[in-house]
Amino acid sequence: MTEVQASMQHSCAIGQSSLSCMELLSQQELELLQSKIAEVNYKKGEIICKQGAPASQIMLVRDGLVKIYMENNSGENLILQIMPGMNIIGLSTLFEGNTVYQFSAQAYLDTKLDVIDSATFRQLIRTNPDFATKVIALLAEYNTIISGRFFCLTQKQTYGRFADVLLCLANRIYKSQKFPLHLSRKELAEIAGMSVESVARIITRFKEENLIDLECKHLNILDYNRMFEISQKG
């Protein structure tokens, strides 16, 4: 079951790699970095970088949770990825054609970042093969995450996408079928790529069908197998 699940596409925006590349740096490199790194703290809700702004920095998420998204002309955002600690923001600026950020980033929770200029970062890639390998693995993972979301948001319909989100929360974040639902309907809607009203309707429906139980912001997935089925069928 778990293997099957792993091989399927899902819209979960959160990666699983947890190893920091910083751990791969030598003592010497770390000392050299000391002067080049700026540690910055963001409060929940604060904007970390804006789509379209000149991009010359790489940011290492030390702690917290960051939303990576693209802004459209109307007020709605497309979430590309949600990053916990030990991830890197702005790698796509290492592609020479990118002089501006292609996305915005916002702190979902209080977040601590290490900011490094691209040039220094490039230097690390050149001098430390372990570091370079890790960066490649991270980029490859980001690619997989975004492709998976792309697939789900274009191919699955609302019920499947919402089931996806619930399973992601259960499996990846809380590691339990029962968990507190801190996210607002608006946030859920943004993650699942649908309107707030659709989220409300789907939750009502899922409750009616005894798929979930939701009381006092505590969600319980009552029928995991059916939920999984729904997420697969779309």
Torsion of CA 229, 234, 188, 216, to 10 degrees: -30
Structure tokens at 63: 């702690």
Contact 148, 9 (CB under 8 A): yes
Q: What share of the chain is helix, strand, coil (3-state, %, to 5)?
A: 45, 25, 30
Q: What is the CA radius of gyration of the chain?
A: 19
Q: Which residues of 165-179 are buried (b: 16+ CB within 10 A; e: fewer)?
A: bbbbbbbbeeeebeb
Binding pattern for the stretch 132-171 against DNA, x by CB under 7 A and - elsewhere: -------------------------xxx------------
By the rule CB under 8 A, 214 interacts with a copy of itself: no
Interior angle at CA 49, CA 78 and CA 12, nearest 5: 35
Name which position in 110, 148, 173, 183 contacts a copy of itself (CB under 8 A): 148
> If binding is defined by CB under 8 A, does position 7 make contact with a copy of itself?
yes
Least Å distance, CB 31 to DNA, is 45
Among the listed ranges 4-12, 31-39, 78-86, 201-209, the one in contact with DNA (CB under 7 A) is: 201-209
Part in contact with DNA (CB under 7 A); list of ranges 30-38, 140-148, 172-180, 188-196: 188-196
H helix intervals, 39-184: 118-127, 129-155, 158-168
Cβ nearer to a copy of itself, comparing 81 with 219: 81
Q: Which of residues 181-200 bind a copy of itself (CB under 8 A)?
A: 193
Query: What token pair was written down for 40?
Result: 């910055």
Total binding residues for a copy of itself by CB under 8 A? 51
| Unique residue bearing structure tokens 């980029």 | 139
Is residue 153 a contact residue for a copy of itself (CB under 8 A)? yes
Nearer to DNA, 138 or 181 (CB): 181
Interface contacts to a copy of itself, rule CB under 8 A: 7, 9, 16-17, 52, 70, 72-73, 76, 78, 80, 91-98, 100, 102-103, 122, 125-127, 129, 132-133, 135-144, 146-151, 153-155, 193, 233-234
Interface contacts to DNA, rule CB under 7 A: 157-159, 184-186, 193-201, 203-204, 217
